[in-house]
Amino acid sequence: MIASEFNNRRQQLMEQVGHNNIAIIASASVRTRNRDVDYPFRQDSDFYYLTGFNEADALAVFIPGRKQGEYILFCQEFDEKKALWEGAHAGLEGATQDYGADDSFPIDDLNDILPGLLENKNKVFYPMGRDSDLDHHLMEWISLIRSQTRSGINAPGELVSLEHILHEMRLIKSPAEIKLLQKAIDVSAKGHIRAMQRCKPGRYEYQIEGEMVHEFIDHGLRAVAYPSIVAGGDNACILHYTENKAILKEGDLLLIDAGAECDHYAADITRTFPVNGVFSSEQKLLYNLVLDAQLAAMQEIKVNTPWNKAHEASVEVLTRGLVELGLLQGEISTLITDEAYKIFYMHRIGHWLGMDVHDVGDYKINDEWRVLEPGMVLTIEPGLYIPEDCATVDEKWRGIGIRIEDDVLVTEQGYQVLSHAIPKTIAEIEAIMQ
């Protein structure tokens, strides 16, 4: 991502924060995995969105109209020893020269410097409740200023959620963001295709996970956007199954929900295919029903259409199909009102996608489903799940979990399926698995 993109975002944020106010956002922290081993560091998405700065122990401050500089970055000072053991880091000089900060200070001096920056500001825009230590410090800094009001210094009177502004910005993706999403998706597509080609009865779920991750890493994407779900047979009915340790059986389906992350942007894709490469007749009927539901949902992806329409379309198609197959009995409209389909389809059609797999942005505005706008990216992922122990249906349907998930960009003209490169129809899947 080029520097000007981050700069534009900061300008846009500061216009909304306004003069006499201040915005504060902290980086993610390094977390311990065990003893002296850390989890791989992943920057906070909001912080990265504004700064492009990929280090822990940093904090960005925005003060619109401040003469000495509007963007201040607190970060770790350059340290030879740290550079030797852990590698390059920006230091104070890098923060201004390479990351566009107007001013930079050591993070260790935060306590001394930040109260001064808060003086005489009206509102503090801040992501409340995310980091209890920082919440606590902020209150202390504000109290400290209050104690000095007799010397003519005013303390901020209002705390405002920074997320509200920021997440509305993040919801609409720029061309540069769409490019990164597309790269995450294209590499994930290679992983899904490799998984299809190398799947066979007797292999283990983790081996197929390995095939996927091989492609991700081979293309330089070392992080998955979320723990991969590689679920054979009945395991596919556990929505967030990540054990991935069972043997794959002849006659079962395999559901894979996996996506790579590219420069902080997530792919989120699911395909379901037969372990032996050929769908049984029951699997075909259910698979095509889920596919029909997905295609019907996509027809509702257009500018100015409420977000919920896609979900409603999927419910309608799935309920009708379940009645036709004898899995539900009754009047379709009543089954929909009574949410009878929820035994087999218990989640919603999808979610926003971006830097976070379940990306930020409100789904409702003033209690109404919001309408779609160009630049929004979302998943469309209907499913049907009929576990082995589902006693209410004929045995032939049991042990089948199917989800089909694509990543979709809302465009002026309608929509674009960013994950179209992965086989999806029965014919396409059977052909590639031959």
188 binds, among Mn ion, ligand GLY, none (CB under 5 to 8 A by kind): none
Rounded Cα distance, 96 and 184, in Å:
30
> At closest approach, how far in Å is the CB of 190 from ligand GLY?
18
Residue 296 near residue 321, CB atoms below 8 Å: no
Query: Which of the following is catalytic: 177, 261, 268, 300?
Result: 268
Amino acid occupying residue 128: M
48 catalytic, yes or no? Answer: no
Within a 10 A sphere around the Cβ of 70, how many other Cβ atoms? 18
Nearer residue to Mn ion within complex by CB, 48 or 226: 226
Q: Which of 46, 215, 257, 406 binds Mn ion (CB under 5 A)?
A: 257
Q: Which of 379, 386, 407, 423 binds Mn ion (CB under 5 A)?
A: 379
Residues in CB range of 433: below 8 A, 6 or more apart: 196, 197, 199, 273, 274, 277, 278
240 catalytic, yes or no? Answer: yes
Token pair, residue 399, equals 């042990």
268 catalytic, yes or no? Answer: yes
Q: Which of 268, 356, 359, 407 binds Mn ion (CB under 5 A)?
A: 268
Query: Which of the following is catalytic: 44, 55, 205, 257?
Result: 257
Which range, of 176-184, 302-310, 328-336, 376-384, touches Mn ion by CB under 5 A? Answer: 376-384
User: What residue ranges bind ligand GLY (CB under 6 A)?
Assistant: 226, 257, 268, 351, 357, 381, 405
**C-alpha dihedral sign at 49, 55, 58, 61:** negative
76 binds, among ligand GLY, Mn ion, none (CB under 5 to 8 A by kind): none
> At closest approach, how far in Å is the CB of 370 from ligand GLY?
19
Nearer residue to ligand GLY within complex by CB, 250 or 363: 363
Say how far residue 340 (Cα) sits from the centre of its chain.
29
| Residue at shortest CB range from ligand GLY | 257
Query: Which of the following is catalytic: 240, 367, 389, 395?
Result: 240
226 binds, among Mn ion, ligand GLY, none (CB under 5 to 8 A by kind): ligand GLY
- The DSSP secondary structure of 124-142, one letter per residue, reads EEE-TTS-HHHHHHHHHHH
Rounded Cα distance, 132 and 36, in Å:
24
> At closest approach, how far in Å is the CB of 293 from ligand GLY?
15
Contact pattern from residue 323 through residue 362 relative to Mn ion, giving x for each residue in contact according to CB under 5 A and a dash for the rest: ----------------------------------------
> At closest approach, how far in Å is the CB of 409 from Mn ion?
15
CA distances from 323 to 312, 319, 336, 349, 395 (A): 17, 6, 11, 20, 16
Kind and range of the H or E run holding 24: strand 22-26
Residue 167 near residue 361, CB atoms below 8 Å: yes
Nearer residue to ligand GLY within complex by CB, 10 or 351: 351
Rounded Cα distance, 429 and 152, in Å:
72
Helices within 18-173 (DSSP H only): 45-51, 80-86, 91-97, 110-118, 132-146, 162-171
> At closest approach, how far in Å is the CB of 414 from Mn ion?
21
Active site residue ranges? 36, 240, 257, 268, 347, 351, 358, 381, 385, 403, 405
Chain residues in the site for Mn ion (CB under 5 A)? 257, 268, 379, 405
